[in-house]
Amino acid sequence: MNLRYIELEYQPTPSQVLRACRDLSWPVLLESARYHAQRGRYSYFSAEPVKRWILDKVEFGDDPFLEFRSAIQEFETSPLPQLPPFQGGLIGLLGYELGHCWERLPEVARDDFCTPAVAVGLYDWLICWDHLLNKTWLLVHEDPSQLINRPGLEQRLAQINVLIDPDEMAGEEVKLTQANHCFTSNVESSVTEQKYLEAVQKVIEYIRAGDIYQANLSRKLQYQFEGTSHQLYDAVCHSNPAPFAAYFKPAEEWAMISASPEQFLQVENRHVITRPIKGTRPRWDAQDTDLMQGLALQAAEKDRAENTMIVDLMRNDLSKVCKLGSVNVPRWCELESFEKVHHLVSEVTGELNDDADIWDLLAATFPGGSITGAPKIRAMEIISELEQTARGHYCGSLFAAGFDGSLQSSILIRTLILKNGSVQCPVGGGIVADSIPENEYTETEHKAAGLLVSKNSSG
């Protein structure tokens, strides 16, 4: 395959491209909606993938990644250093229940939205942004043998130019600024406050009995949204900008919208990074009060202990596929502040074994430790017992696997599923021995801030 590219003279924003190309099949946007020079520099959009996979968990087989391995090898391409690092490949969702593929776990009682456990596309073209350099490119992989009948660079550029008309984009921006996004009161919870408090207490009892050290317990919020999926994405990203924001619509009836702050796995040149989040405090408008909130979180023994447990778990998971002695913790319990909350974030790194690839890494670490607990398998059993409903894509991962063997992925927290006008918005938190149930419930409300939106437009 040949990789060709052109820098776009007109530089539309990622949100503008999403709205302009919304009628293309399988649109996906990976957006650094919260800029960071190291972890929020690039954004990517694509649609109309070469191949598509939609799998329920009964279809996994022994190796759910077998076809992905061969697909990547078929298109294997060395990256061009002058362009953003992801230059085409597999993009898709791995639902939380994919963990059943590798471990025997109890089946949950119900699945409210029934979205597939795996939805992945093979994307051979991209619009990509470098927010540091303020540049935008169109990249296209072309088959010189023409065995794959796909649009070349000139054809794709002509298509994009038709869709992304600057005058029309300006009109869309006017409509967007006129839209009034507000918090909705039409919210139902999968459990009552009292039931959630009782579930938290049950986790604490499991911890005191020696079953686990920690478990991540969640509840699902649901409400109606009268707008479109890309309007919901605009509303959420405006209220809750995040470094791993994403939009993915692999079916007409449902779409995923994510404002995740959490990186799951990154692999570049076989170097692995994972950045688990544990520890949360709400942001405040008053600068001095907000500063005190962050300092209090950094000093909180409970939150630091919670973070340390997951760091140890991720060290263990990475050690399964990383070289002996290569797993390290260069950053531990550092404060990172987002739009609505402060978090404690750590970083665990390693070097992949010579005989391991990104799919072995995903199999060894999925689902992420920050949204399961420790020990992981027993924590997942307790989660199934107490939540009694499938998590679906919540607490799974959205990933981009490059043709060069690289990997970028997020943990799908602060993530919504819009299906037939209903929005599902799960929220949760890590429970440890000294957790206070009422405080844990309040934390889920803080995490929901900015995600429970309604849309009233005058345009």
* Residue 175 confidence (pLDDT) above 60: no
* Residue 49 confidence (pLDDT) above 90: yes
**Looking at the DSSP assignment, which residues form a beta bridge with residue 262?**
none
Rounded distance between C-alpha atoms, residue 423 and residue 445, angstroms: 16
* Residue 63 confidence (pLDDT) above 90: no
* pTM check: above 0.85: yes
Reported as type and span, the H/E element at residue 338 is none
pLDDT score of 105: 83
pLDDT score of 35: 66
Q: Which amino acid is at 210?
A: G
Residue 319: phi and psi, rounded to 5, are -65, -20
Greatest CA separation found in the chain? 65
Active site residue 278: yes
pLDDT score of 184: 65
Nearest by Cα to 274 from 300, 304, 244 = 244
Query: Tens digit of pLDDT for each residue in 272-309?
Result: 999 999 888 888 888 888 888 888 888 888 889 888 99
Rounded distance between C-alpha atoms, residue 267 and residue 350, angstroms: 10
Mean pLDDT of 445-458: 75
pLDDT score of 425: 93
Nearest by Cα to 34 from 44, 24, 26, 42 = 42
Active site residue 262: yes
Give the residue, 340 or 227, on which the prediction is more confident. 227
Mean pLDDT of 260-270: 94
pLDDT score of 337: 82
Measured over the CA atoms of residue 353, residue 359, residue 364 and residue 366, the dihedral's sign is positive
**Looking at the DSSP assignment, which residues form a beta bridge with residue 322?**
352
Q: Quick one: pLDDT band at residue 178, thresholds 50, 70, 90?
A: very low
Q: Which of the residues 249, 278, 340, 376 is marked catalytic?
A: 278
Helix (H, G, I), strand (E, B) or coil at 427: strand
Q: Quick one: pLDDT band at residue 392, thresholds 50, 70, 90?
A: very high
What are the strands, taking DSSP E only, across 20-115? 28-31, 42-46, 51-55, 89-94
pLDDT score of 251: 93
pLDDT score of 456: 60
Rounded distance between C-alpha atoms, residue 258 and residue 297, angstroms: 25
Rounded distance between C-alpha atoms, residue 375 and residue 386, angstroms: 17
pLDDT score of 459: 35
pLDDT score of 144: 64
Mean pLDDT of 54-69: 77
Highest mean pLDDT pick, 11-20, 180-189, 320-329: 320-329
Mean pLDDT of 430-441: 93
Rounded distance between C-alpha atoms, residue 306 and residue 278, angstroms: 6
Mean pLDDT of 174-196: 72
Nearest by Cα to 55 from 117, 123, 122 = 117
Reported as type and span, the H/E element at residue 384 is helix 376-387
Rounded distance between C-alpha atoms, residue 222 and residue 344, angstroms: 28
Query: Tens digit of pLDDT for each residue in 212-223?
Result: 999 999 999 999
Rounded distance between C-alpha atoms, residue 180 and residue 165, angstroms: 25
Mean pLDDT of 69-73: 88
CA torsion, ordered 398, 52, 230, 283, to nearest 10 deg:
0
pLDDT score of 27: 97
Give the residue, 229 or 104, on which the prediction is more confident. 229
pLDDT score of 185: 65
Q: What is the mean pLDDT of the chain?
A: 88
Return the minimum-mean-pLDDT range out of 248-257, 291-300, 361-370, 450-459. Answer: 450-459
**Could you tell me if 250 and 52 are in contact, meaning their C-beta atoms sit under 8 angstroms apart?**
yes
pLDDT score of 318: 97
By the 10 Å C-beta count (0-12 exposed, 13-18 middle, 19+ buried), 259 is classed as buried
Give the residue, 341 or 437, on which the prediction is more confident. 437
**Looking at the DSSP assignment, which residues form a beta bridge with residue 53?**
120
Q: Which of the residues 48, 97, 262, 381 is marked catalytic?
A: 262
Tokens of 433: 């021995």
pLDDT score of 164: 83
pLDDT score of 457: 43
Q: Quick one: pLDDT band at residue 45, thresholds 50, 70, 90?
A: very high
Give the residue, 38 or 28, on which the prediction is more confident. 28
DSSP state string for 95-130: -GGGGGGTS--PPPS--SS---SEEEEEE-EEEEEE
Query: Tens digit of pLDDT for each residue in 188-214?
Result: 999 999 999 999 999 999 999 999 999
Share of the chain above pLDDT 90, in %: 60
Spatial neighbors of 49 by CB under 8 A, at least 6 apart, are 26, 91, 121, 122, 123, 124
Share of the chain above pLDDT 70, in %: 91
pLDDT score of 170: 58
Residue 156: left if φ>0, alpha if ψ -120 to 50, beta else—which one?
A: alpha
Domain regions of the chain by residue span? 2-170+186-457
- Is CATH 2.60.120.10 the classification given to domain 2-170+186-457? no
pLDDT score of 38: 67
Residues across the chain: 459
Reported as type and span, the H/E element at residue 259 is strand 254-260
Tokens of 292: 């005190």
| H helices present in 179-333, as ranges | 193-208, 229-239, 287-299, 301-319
pLDDT score of 113: 82
